Structure 1
Amino acid sequence: MGCIAPKSKNTQKKTSDDNLNSKRDGFQSSRLIKVESKDQLAFHPSLFVGRRKGNIEEHYSFEKAIYAGSYGEVRLASNKITGLKRAIKTISKENIGKDTKLRARFFTEIEILKQMDHPNIIKLYEFYEDDSNYHLVTEYVPGGELFDYIIKSKMLSEPIAAQFMRQLLSAVAYCHQNNIVHRDLKPENLLIDAQSHEATLKVIDFGLSAFFDSKVSMTKKYGTSYYVAPEVLRRSYNEKCDMWSCGVILYILLCGRPPFNGSSGPQIVRRVQKGEFSFDSPSWEGVTPMAKKLITRMLDYDPGTRISANEAVQDEWMIYNASTIPRDENIAQISLQNLKTFRVEQKLQRAVLTYIASQISNKEEIKKLGEAFRDMDTNGDGKLSKEEVLEAFYSLGGNGFSQKDIEDIIKQVDVNNSGFIDYTEFIMATARKESLLCIENLDSAFSAFDEDGSGKISAIELKNIFGKELIATDEVWKDMIAEVDENGDGEIDLNEFRTMMQHIFDDRP
């Protein structure tokens, strides 16, 4: 739901949300990377989010409607090959085709979701197009909205509220570091995988999101009245508008009602414009000063002094409450041991592992590994630095590790050459061998790479898959094939493919 605003006579230069979004209309990749040799190849999960033509029902069995709106619906479906559950958002071309701004926002949402690699942001797997509709195939989150959990619970204890907020703020920090602003954060746009205080939270609905330029103010008025920041109503704002929304959400989690309430939309907006709130109700009597201080910093009327997402994740209230949550030491130990022994030399192996980890991994195992990832990610930015990995080893008794040891680990795991261990890279390096490389996963991955269904993977097929973002000569793709082509025919058959992958973790339990 968006705020309705009168026409503006503002004549300042075109804003970042207009400029950057218009560049991405039509689902064009914004990250073309030139590669001179096989050794320079780097793989990101976005490479596998393909735009596919044809009938989606040939690949998915639809089960039930989850949500229906004015522009389309979201349905639960199962992949016919893997059996994995997916939520599929179907948008009618007729509904958005005549509105160029709406169409631009739609393709911006796809481009943003493609780039996301974070445990608390909804994952986009595929994008289908037929004569009448677009279909976004996304992660299925069975627990429903955080909003429903709030209604059921009325208000949450501080440790539970902190657990949800840390996940939310980590996702927001990750977005802001990648120059993405959400602009419609609210409990209805936060899904949880179970109606439980131990649930994993996922941020959804990037339909009002934008790529932003930190040097240029945004002016489009978007958001929902209870959660919209006052500077958005003034039509001059930056990414800190998301932090105001987070402050409103935390306020609601701890007392069960919004800080800016009213009997109508206009009344709520007037109170937001004033920015005045209080902790005077009886609901706040047992809440700690630390929690109130954090909310006050989030609801700072001045965006210039308002707390950032990175700062909020490391706030004293967040750190204190995180320390009260029991850690699964066994998962942490196994994760670090697997990180230490991860060795993959061949480029095709790295590409296939990235595909499996991002597209078809075991959901229950991912949930546990995601918790281990969040524990290691002490600054909450959605990626692991050398310092964080080293600290994780120290905290579990690995005092014999040096900076050089950690650099070697990151060099092995960092398949996209970012200098950090990203979320999918962590899953790829720490998952159990029998889970990651089961026959079902390998056969599904082989089918994805064997685009023409010939029973063999060719250099041309690798070029078709990766050439959308990685610009390389034909020799690079041929070298990638030759590295694992046992019989020298210039292609990879299923047996060669399975052999290549099953030798990866020979020393892993």
Structure 2
Amino acid sequence: MGICKSKLRPHESKLSVVRRFSKLNIHQFYRFTQILGSGSFGTVKLAFSLEQERNGLQSKCYAVKSIDKRRIGQRLHLIQRELEILVQLDHPNIIRVYETYEDMRYYHFVMEYCRGGELFERIVRKGVFSERKCSILMKQLFSAVHYMHQQGVTHRDLKPENLMLASPDDDLDIRIIDFGLSKKYPPPQSANQGRSQVRTQTKVGTPIYVAPEVLQGKYSQTCDEWSLGCIMYVLLCGEPPFFSNNLKVLEEKIQNKDIQFNENSWQNISKEAKMLVIRLLDKNPKKRITCAQALSSPWILNQASAPPSRMESIPNNEQENEKAIQLLKTYGNISKLKKETLNILLNQLNETQIQSLRQQFEEFDKDNSGTISVKEMTQIMKKLGLNDTEKEMSELIKKLKFSNKNDGNLYGDLTIHYSEFMMALLNQQQYLNEERLWGLFKQFDIDNKNYITSLDVRRAFQRRGKQLSTVKVDTMFNEIRLNSQDKIDFQRFHDMMLADSLKTQDEDMQIPNISKMSTNNPQNLPYLNQPIGDFNFDI
């Protein structure tokens, strides 16, 4: 999460009335180890959950960003704004923020840890990507950026340094990070509205990946598609489409020079790949291809027809689809407290443990939009021989929504979002064994009283940036036939979590050993270095 120069807006420095930082001591919950990185305003450290370790579980790795209050001065509103954007976005290829804390000196953000490091470092270390691997990554990026744009978010600084690989074992699972320059506007009402909403804005971004209209100070969401075109170009040939060590010369090339494909670097690259790059790097933003259109381009479709990779959708499996439908229907009727607990569990599991569930999400998300629509659900139901109508599917999706308007996390559209789908599929006894349930119970019972009170529930939500009113807490307890003065012991918690959960014969998945972060440092590649000079950022 980056902090850039900005004209201070004192009226924006007030914290959101919805998201607040927990005042609990972060060191009560996380064990910090090595420093992963540092910047002008703080450090990022590798951390492990003490709660998971105390309860006999091998902790998932987390990245905790600690921002020094003394260094940020009156820029808190920038941090808060980036946080608000990040917690709104719910896509498997966008970095996740799990919890937030505050103490006398720091603001702490507990985030997803990407063990594979920056995409930039991978390019430097291993060189260019094959078309096959490049298409897999670009498909993920097109999906994630399309999703962002549908939510009204423009990233404005997409580049290999802001793309992280989830694992060092392969290059096929990516995360978009650093939303410090992002802008949030009302979501577009149509596909064309996003590109037509041109606004006068300050030049932002990283020079060699910035769109020509950004240099002119009037641009829309399509500036992100230009950056994706530059990234695709770099992945395939190892150098950017436009380069100069002089910033003014670089700007002139971006605005006026035609894209070129060096024969030595591009002779073995397909015409479909070159055509997609050309369409992404169209200097006319109104003619530039959108991410939604790129997902249907011949290059993406042809590459997707090759044998499936580890992170691509599994073949159609009617039995698994039927089970997923059953779990979605059940999830719509469970209590809010159980939904929140399943959310905590989702945040504790690593990519290996939820791999099959994520593949199931991708199987339902036919258009790769990052959400599952009523139409997609209805089509799957018809293939399974079920007669649920679109109206019934709409009612089902409404039941899945955990939040209400005051929570600041409402998905107003009638689609199933990633976390909703994943939490629904976690409602299986193979994920809810005794050991895990005890660990989840202790997520609320942080004082080791061996029971949970309404205050414990309120504090657990606060760690995740959500404020619960007395009415909301009363409602949660009433749903499980208690009042807010009652105490929830482990047996009642256990029974609540197993009620309506799906019984399966699968063995519980074990947490694999986590290797240490790679310490490889990037070498000096002149074509990927930035020219001297930078833009003034007005956020």
TM-score, normalised with respect to structure 1: 0.82
Alignment partner of 1:94 out of 52, 55, 70: 70
Q: Residue 61 of structure 1 aligns to a residue in which SS?
A: strand
Residue correspondence of structure 1 range 236-385 to structure 2 within 5 A:
236-326=218-308, 329=314, 335-342=320-327, 343-344=330-331, 345-385=333-373
What is the alpha-carbon distance in structure 2 between the residues aligned to residue 57 and residue 304 of structure 1?
Answer: 50
- 8 Å CA contact retained: 1:457, 1:493: yes
Q: Structure 1: which amino acid aligns with 2:420?
A: E
Q: Provide the rounded CA distance (Å) in 2 between the counterparts of 1:189 and 1:53.
A: 30
Tell me if 1:123 matches 2:96: yes
Cross-structure match for 1:439: 434
Task: Tell me how far apart the structure 2 counterparts of residues 55 and 400 of structure 1 sit (CA, whole Å).
Answer: 50
Is structure 2 residue 389 aligned with structure 1 residue 403? yes
Q: Which residue of 1 aligns with 2:82?
A: 109
Between the aligned partners of 2:335 and 2:354, the Cα distance in structure 1 is: 24
Task: Decide whether the 8 Å contact of 2:336 with 2:476 is kept in 1.
Answer: yes
Tell me how far apart the structure 2 counterparts of residues 330 and 437 of structure 1 sit (CA, whole Å).
Answer: 27
For the 8 Å contact 1:450–1:461, the answer to whether it is kept is yes
2:421 to 414, 426, 429: 426
Deviations along 1:12-44, whole A, 9 cap, x unmatched? xxxxx999x9876444157xxxxxxxxxxxxxx
In the TM superposition, residue 316 of structure 1 has moved relative to its aligned partner by 2.5
Name the CA distance, whole Å, in 1 between partners of 2:314 and 2:145.
27
Query: Could you say what the CA RMSD is over the residues aligned between the two structures, in angstroms?
Result: 3.3
Alpha-carbon spacing, 1:258–1:330, altered in 2? closer, same or farther (3 Å): closer
State whether residues 341 and 507 of structure 1, in contact with CA within 8 Å, keep that contact through their aligned partners in structure 2. no
Q: Would you say the 8 A contact 2:210–2:223 is kept in 1? A: yes
| Cα deviation digits, residues 275-311 of structure 1 (max 9, x gap) | 5211243222222222122111111112222222222
- Does 2:489 correspond to 1:493? yes
Match of 1:69 in 2: 39
Q: What's the counterpart of residue 532 of structure 2?
A: none
Kept after mapping to 2: 8 A contact 1:221/1:233: yes
Distance 1:309 1:487, change over 3 A: closer
Distance 2:29 2:386 in 1: 50
Paired letter, 1:189? N
What is the rounded CA distance, in whole Å, between the counterparts of 1:94 and 1:131 in structure 2?
Answer: 10
451-460 or 64-73: bigger deviation:
451-460
Q: Which moved more, 1:168-177 or 1:301-310?
A: 301-310
**Percent same amino acid among aligned pairs?**
32
Instruction: Tell me the CA shift for residue 72 of structure 1.
Output: 1.6
Shift of 1:56: 2.3
1:203 to 154, 158, 176: 176
Q: How far 1:194 moved relative to its partner?
A: 2.5
**Contact conserved, 2:230 with 2:241, CA < 8 A, in 1?**
yes
SS at match of 1:372: helix
Deviations, residues 339-374 of structure 1 (Å, cap 9, x unaligned)? 122114232354234423542234312233223323
* Matched position secondary structure for 1:62: strand
Deviation per CA, 1:181-210: give whole Å up to 9, x if none.
111111111111224555311111111112
**Matched position secondary structure for 1:191:** strand
SS of the equivalent of 1:477 reads helix
Does the 8 A contact of 2:67 with 2:108 survive in 1? yes
Q: Which moved more, 1:179-188 or 1:267-276?
A: 267-276
Q: Is the 8 A contact 2:280 2:289 kept in 1?
A: yes
Distance 1:464 1:430 in 2: 26
Gaps of 5+ in 2: 53-58, 187-193, 404-410, 506-539
Q: TM-score, normalised by structure 2?
A: 0.78
Match of 2:51 in 1: 81
Residue correspondence of structure 1 range 27-38 to structure 2 within 5 A: 27-29=15-17
Aligned partner letter, 1:177: Q
1:477 aligns with 2:504: no
The question of whether the paired residues in 2 share the 8 Å contact of 1:241 and 1:303 is answered with: yes
What letter corresponds to residue 398 of structure 1 in structure 2?
A: L
Give the match for residue 128 of structure 2: 155
Change (3 A) 1:488 1:174: closer
- Identify the range of structure 1 (219-228 vs 383-392) with the bigger mean alpha-carbon deviation: 383-392
Distance 1:472 1:29, change over 3 A: closer
